[in-house]
Each structure stands twice: as structure tokens, then as C-alpha cells.
């Protein structure tokens, strides 16, 4: 299923900037960045639970926030994009 993950991490201090880098790095491990704090991830239920737990442990819930949008398996009919598309789609084949 496609999960859209957005986050807002308070970066007013060094600890916040560190949390921001850690959250972004963890999201990159599971999907692709589509905007600064927005990631598209193709996940199964188990991966989704693990990622949610990992991200929840990284943030400070008193000043940061995470949002998960579960778009399901038929997400291609639910996503519309206008403008420059950077990179490949999360479910496209990548040959190295």
C-alpha cells in the first residue's frame, strides 16, 4: 500500500536539527522524498508498523508532529501531480 508520510520537526535548537536529519534518513530508507518533509512509501502492514514505531521514537511529541496518510493499493487513482516530478515513482523498477 502507498503511505504518505509528512513531518514537522522543530529545528530551533541542535537537538531538533538532529531529529530532523534522523527522521528524514529513516523515511529515505523506506520510500522517496516528494517534497521537503513529505515521503511516499510503498509498505506492507508489517513495514508500516515498524516505520511508525521507529519514527515515533525519533521525534519529540511535545514540539514535533508526524502524519500518515494510508492511500492503499489503488493509490494511482488517488494521486494527481502537477509540475516537475523529481526522481522515479516509489513503485517503479530501478536498475543499477
Residue 55 is predicted with a pLDDT of: 97
- Tell which residue, 38, 53, 55, 54, has the closest CA to residue 3: 38
Residue 96 is predicted with a pLDDT of: 61
pLDDT digits (tens, 9 = 90+) for 66-96: 999 998 887 777 777 677 766 666 666 555 6
Q: Which pTM was predicted?
A: 0.80
pLDDT digits (tens, 9 = 90+) for 1-19: 999 999 999 999 999 999 9
Phi, psi of 18, rounded to the nearest 5 degrees: -65, -45
Cell of 11: 529545528
Amino acid at each position: 500500500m502507498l503511505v504518505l508520510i509528512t513531518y514537522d520537526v522543530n529545528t530551533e535548537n541542535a537537538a531538533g536539527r538532529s531529529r530532523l536529519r534522523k527522521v528524514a534518513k529513516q523515511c529515505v530508507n523506506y520510500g522517496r522524498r516528494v517534497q521537503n518533509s513529505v515521503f511516499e512509501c510503498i509498505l506492507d502492514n508489517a513495514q508500516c508498523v515498524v516505520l511508525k514505531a521507529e519514527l515515533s521514537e525519533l521525534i519529540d511529541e511535545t514540539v514535533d508532529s508526524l502524519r500518515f496518510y494510508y492511500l492503499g493499493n489503488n493509490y494511482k487513482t488517488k494521486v494527481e501531480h502537477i509540475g516537475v516530478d523529481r526522481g522515479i515513482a516509489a513503485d517503479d523498477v530501478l536498475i543499477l
